[in-house]
Structure 1
Amino acid sequence: MRRTDFDHIVRLGWLSPVGTAAVDYGRAYWGVVQVPLYSAAAVALLPQTRPHIDWRQIRRTGPGRRSPLAALQPAAPEADTAFLAEVARIAAMAYRLVMTITDAVRRATQKRITGREEELGEDAAKMAPGWSAEQLRGVLGEDILAELMAGPDWPQLARQLVGLQQAGVDLGTFLPQMGRMTAGVHQAVAANIARTKAEGTARWADLLRTAMPEGLVREAILAVRNRVKR
C-alpha cells in the first residue's frame, strides 16, 4: 500500500495512532521527529471492518495515480466508536466464557486430587488485577483488555488467571492460545457486523453461524448480541 493511501485511511478516521516514536533523521534532514505508531491488529482488520472497500484495487493503484480513497469523506466518529466498542465487548465475553470454564476445570481437578479447591491468599488476591493486566497486555487486543478491566468482574477474572498460574498451568502456552481465540472472535464479529451493515440486512446471526464453528463461544456471542440489540 502506498503512503498516500495510508494517509487517506488516517484522514477517514479508520486508524488512529496508539503512540509515537522518536526517529533521528540527522541534522542534514529533519533532526529528531516524532513518528506516529499504529496498531498492527487494527491495520490487519481493515478488510474486515471496511468490507465495502476494494482493497485489491488500492494495492494495484500505481505511483502517481489518484487514490481510490480520495473521494471518500469521514464517517461520523460516534458510528465507528460504537461499532468497535461492540466488537470488543463481544470478544471480551468470549474471553470471560473460556476463563470461567477453565477455572471450573481447575477447581474440579484440584478437588478430585487433593479433596479441596485451592484459594488465593490475601496478598495474591490484592496483586492479581495488576499482575493479570501485565500478563494479558500484548496478548489480547488493547480494546479487549480495556473492556475486561472496565467490567465489575475484572478482579474475579484476574484472580482466576493467578489461580491457573499457581496451579501449574503454563501461561506461556495458555495465554497465546487465548489471544488467538479472542483475535479470531474479534475478526469474525467485526467482519459480520460490517458486512451486515454494508448490505443493509438483518442476517447477522446467520453470517456468524457460517463464519464460526458450532460451540459454546459462538452461542455465547449470539446471546450477547441479542442482549445488545434489546
Structure 2
Amino acid sequence: MQCVGQRGEFRDGGGLGQCVLESAVVGGSGGVEQVPSLVGVDSLDILVSNAGIAIGGRITETKTDTWQKALDINVLGSVRGLRVFVPKIGKGGRIVLTASAAGLVHAPAMATYNATKAATVALGETVDAELRHRKISTTVICPQFFKSGLADSLTGDDDAMDAVARVLLSRTWLTSEIVARRAVKGIEARRTGVTPDGFATFSWYSKRFTRIPYLFLVRAIGWAVARQVRRSEGKALV
C-alpha cells in the first residue's frame, strides 16, 4: 500500500507498512501538479485529501478575495489532487475527502465555510458515483467542530465571528483522534458520507426529517448571533 504524506507508519490488518507523505501547496494554479515526488507515484490504494482553511463571517463582512482564497484551497485543492491521483488508483481503492458538518447543515455567519464544504460534499458524492464501476469508493468526512489546528488558520474578515469560531474549536469535547477513529470505520465500510459524532449526525438527520423545526432553529441562531454582534459592536440591529 502506498500513501502520500509525512513519513510514518500505518497498520493494514496485521501487517505494518510504510506511509510516505509529501506536503504540497494546494492553492494557486500549481499545487500538487508541480511536485515531482507526488506526480511520480505510480499507483495508489488510498488518497486522503485533507486540505482546508477555516473562514467564517457574515456575508456583508467577507471580501470577494477571501471567498476566492477559500474556494481555491477548500474546493480546488481537492480537485487538483483528484485530477492527479485518480488515474493512479487501482481497482478497489479508496478516496477520502475531509469536509465538515457545515457542508450538510448551514449555520448563519459561516457562508464562506458552509459553501466550500458543501461543494466538497457534492464533489465527493459525484466522484463516488463516477468511480464505483471501478470498485473505487469515495468517503466524505463531515465532523462538527473538534480540537485541531484549524483555529490557527482562521483568516476571515469578520473579527467578531472569528472569535466565536475560536471558542467553538477550543471548548468542544471532540478530538481529532476520536474523529479519525470513527472516520476509519466509515472508510472501511465504504460509506459515502460519515458524520463521526453525535451532534453532526443529529443535526443532519434533523435537517432531513424535521425540516420546519430545523429552519426555526437556524433562524433563531441567526437572531442570537445578531444580538451578540450588536452588544459587542454597540450597534443597533437593523
Q: TM-score, length-normalised on structure 2?
A: 0.24
Q: TM-score, length-normalised on structure 1?
A: 0.25
Greater relative CO (CA pairs within 8 A, separation 6+) = 1
Q: Of Structure 1 and Structure 2, which has the larger fraction of its residues in helix?
A: 1
Task: Look at both structures and tell me which one has the larger radius of gyration over its CA atoms.
Answer: 1
